[in-house]
């Protein structure tokens, strides 16, 4: 099966080469789309040096807008969202997409909270926040997802295309989660590793995104 990698990348010059090399090393039939909206560190130029990588550029609008810009270009059977910061290791993609390849799943989430894989021990309140948001997701949608905020999400491309996404910032994560839960799709999760970085290292999500996530989940559930 052909796999489309959507890589939102904003000022990720330090890691974009490594991510693209690791994606290429998987040897999958693949399409790679990097969306660089206004990086000032040359991220997009670095990405363009990699053979066969499509680089989309637009004014900076956030991770959600970057994903939405890439979806119409996706031509794979499966689409994986791959962050550009090496917090999520491309070597785990084959395991992530396996339930879809086997025809058992429409969507697979890589969970940082399911245990059994290396997790950076830090940022206690982030952990609490992610557990709480996943708890709220369970209550609202009667699902057992343990990490709805995870960056590692794989879809049958058809399903991703059908979601009618509107959020432009990190609220894209709860929006995707809410919409797939509402559609009664076959959703799976499996443990993945998380090599977390600090804010000094370029992490961008904040507590404000956490509060907004609750609102977005509620809105998607009841509208
Ligand atoms: N194109 C684009 N990509 C973005 C933007 N904001 C974040 N990203 C990308 O989205 C991915 C996740 O952003 P991070 O800052 O790593 O978010 P995080 O706080 O680490 O959160 P998670 O990794 O999702 O747990 C990275 O690849 C970022 O480069 C943006 O405004 N535009
Ligand atoms: Mg990250």
Q: Any idea which ligand is nearest the CA of 111? A: 1
User: H/E element holding 80?
Assistant: strand 78-81
Q: Any idea which ligand is nearest the CA of 126? A: 1
Q: What span, in angstroms and rounded, lies between the C-alpha atoms of 159 and 203? A: 29
Pick the closest to residue 33 from 87, 86, 72, 77 (CA basis).
72
Q: Are 179 and 64 in contact (CB under 8 A)?
A: no
Longest dimension (CA), the chain: 46
Q: What span, in angstroms and rounded, lies between the C-alpha atoms of 106 and 122? A: 32
Q: What span, in angstroms and rounded, lies between the C-alpha atoms of 54 and 142? A: 38
Q: Are 74 and 31 in contact (CB under 8 A)?
A: yes
- According to DSSP, residue 174 is labeled H
Per-residue pLDDT 10s for the chain (223 aa) are 999 999 999 999 999 999 999 999 999 999 999 999 999 999 999 999 999 999 999 999 999 999 999 999 999 999 999 999 999 999 999 999 999 999 999 999 999 999 999 999 999 999 999 999 999 999 999 999 999 999 999 999 999 999 999 999 999 999 999 999 999 899 999 999 999 999 998 888 899 999 999 999 999 999 9
In testing the pocket of ligand 1, which one of 9, 34, 152 has its CB within 8 Å of the most ligand atoms?
9
Pairing of strands 153-156, 107-111: antiparallel
43 Cα nearest atom in ligand 1: 29
66 Cα nearest atom in ligand 1: 1
DSSP H helices, the chain, are: 16-25, 43-48, 63-70, 93-101, 124-141, 157-161, 172-182, 207-222
Q: State pLDDT tens for residues 64-83.
A: 999 999 999 999 999 999 99
């Amino acid at each position: 099966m052909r796999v489309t990698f959507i890589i939102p990348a904003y000022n990720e010059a330090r890691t974009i080469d490594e991510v693209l090399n690791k994606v290429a090393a998987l040897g999958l039939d693949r399409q790679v789309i990097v969306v660089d909206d206004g990086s000032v560190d040359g991220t997009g130029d670095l990405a363009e040096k990699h053979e066969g990588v499509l680089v989309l550029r637009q004014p900076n609008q956030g991770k959600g807008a970057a994903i939405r810009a890439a979806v119409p270009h996706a031509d794979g059977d499966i689409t994986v969202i791959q962050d550009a910061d090496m917090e999520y290791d491309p070597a785990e993609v084959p395991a992530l997409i396996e339930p879809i390849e086997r025809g058992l799943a429409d969507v697979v989430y890589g969970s940082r909270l399911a245990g059994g894989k290396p997790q950076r021990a830090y940022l206690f309140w982030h952990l609490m926040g992610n557990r709480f948001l996943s708890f709220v997701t369970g209550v609202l949608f009667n699902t057992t997802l343990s990490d709805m905020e995870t960056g590692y999400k794989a879809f049958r491309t058809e399903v991703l295309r059908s979601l009618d996404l509107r959020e432009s910032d990190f609220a894209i994560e709860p929006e995707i989660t809410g919409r797939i839960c509402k559609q009664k799709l076959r959703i799976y999760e499996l443990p993945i590793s998380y090599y977390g970085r600090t804010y000094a290292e370029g992490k961008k999500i904040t507590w404000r995104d956490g509060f907004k996530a609750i609102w977005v989940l509620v809105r998607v559930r009841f509208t």
